[in-house]
Structures are given as structure tokens and as C-alpha cells.
Amino acid sequence: MDSTTLLAAMVGAAIFGLLATVVIVRRSASAASAAAQESFAVSTEGMTRCPSCGMGNLVTDADCSSCGKRLPG
């Protein structure tokens, strides 16, 4: 194998590696934005977040303490 063929193989491998990296980064960013768009979950400190205004409320509250709207659950 001469040096030109070896160089072409190395360039091809580098391009393949860069493309794979771009795909992985985009997939990670897409998964992170999808997780951010999901509904709010109950926190570990016994709080639930209002889907309307984002205010933290106690799990036992039926209505939001900030906007007064009904809380899910």
C-alpha cells in the first residue's frame, strides 16, 4: 500500500469520525430539548409545579398558590 492510499484511508476515517460525532451530539441535544418540553414532575421535596405558571406548590394543595388554577393529580 503506497502513501497516497494510506492518506486517503486516514482522511476517510477522520471524516467518518466527524460525521458520527455530529450525529451523536445532535441526538443528545434533541433528547435534552424533548426532556425539557415534558410536563413537570413532582420534585423530591414534596412539591409539584403548576403547569400554568410554574410555581412550586405542596403535593397536598389542590389549587396553585400563585395563579389559583387547579393542579393536576
| Model confidence pLDDT, tens digit, residues 21-63 | 999 888 877 666 665 556 665 444 778 889 999 888 888 899 9
Segment 4-22 mean pLDDT = 95
Segment 7-22 mean pLDDT = 95
Give me the pLDDT at residue 6, please.
94
Give me the pLDDT at residue 44, please.
47
| Three-state secondary-structure class, residue 27 | helix
> Grid cell 414534596 — which residue?
46
Q: What pTM did the predictor assign?
A: 0.42
Count Cα atoms within 13 angstroms, Cβ side, for 46: 3
* C-alpha 51: how far from chain center: 18
How far is the C-alpha of 54 from the C-alpha of 36, rounded, in Å?
Answer: 13
Residues forming a β-bridge with 10: none
Count Cα atoms within 13 angstroms, Cβ side, for 24: 6
